[in-house]
């Protein structure tokens, strides 16, 4: 276990579960396959989660009928969004930042299963959130808003 895992066991558990799914399935499947497999892995690891959670969007103090759906909320406080793309773009990053803005949650992960190594990015909505670093063969990056 790395220092980061000892300081932030939730981050370590989420990334570890995603790495296990990627190790077993590899890249090449569509996103719903990884989402279902990750739900199974979260259960196996004892990670509490809700799947496909609706986020309410407000405009001028009014709730919009259109809602976002985040793939997972783990531990009641960490958004997890999945992709299965050759590479992540600014669009996927903007989506996760909007999820954070639309919710009261401060921490999010964008996991990309579409590349040969699991790619993940960690987003903190406030400076109070802890930092995560790369682990194993994963490619990681922190983004603080």
Query: Does residue 142 surpass a pLDDT of 70?
Result: no
- pTM score, two decimals? 0.81
- Say if CB 127 and CB 145 are below 8 A apart: no
Query: Does residue 117 surpass a pLDDT of 70?
Result: yes
All domains of the chain, ordered by start, with CATH? 3-144 (3.40.1350)
- Among 97-101, 105-109, 128-132, the least confident range: 128-132
Burial of 113 (0-12, 13-18, 19+ CB in 10 A): buried
pLDDT-derived band at 128, boundaries 50, 70, 90: very low
- Rounded mean pLDDT of the chain? 86
Joined together, the tokens standing for residue 74 give: 């783990």
């Amino acid at each position: 276990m790395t220092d980061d895992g000892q300081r932030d066991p939730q981050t370590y558990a989420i990334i570890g579960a995603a790495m296990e799914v990627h190790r077993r399935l590899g890249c090449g499947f569509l996103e719903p396959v990884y989402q279902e497999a990750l739900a199974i892995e979260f259960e196996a690891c004892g990670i509490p989660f809700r799947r496909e959670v609706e986020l309410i969007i407000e405009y001028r103090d009014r709730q919009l009928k259109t809602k976002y759906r985040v793939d997972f909320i783990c531990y009641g406080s960490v958004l997890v969004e999945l992709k299965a793309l050759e590479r992540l773009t600014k669009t996927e990053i903007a989506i996760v930042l909007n999820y954070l803005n639309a919710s009261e949650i401060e921490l999010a992960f964008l996991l990309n299963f579409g590349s040969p190594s699991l790619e993940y990015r960690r987003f903190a909505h406030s400076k109070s959130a802890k930092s995560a670093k790369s682990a194993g063969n994963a490619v990681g990056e922190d983004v603080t808003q």
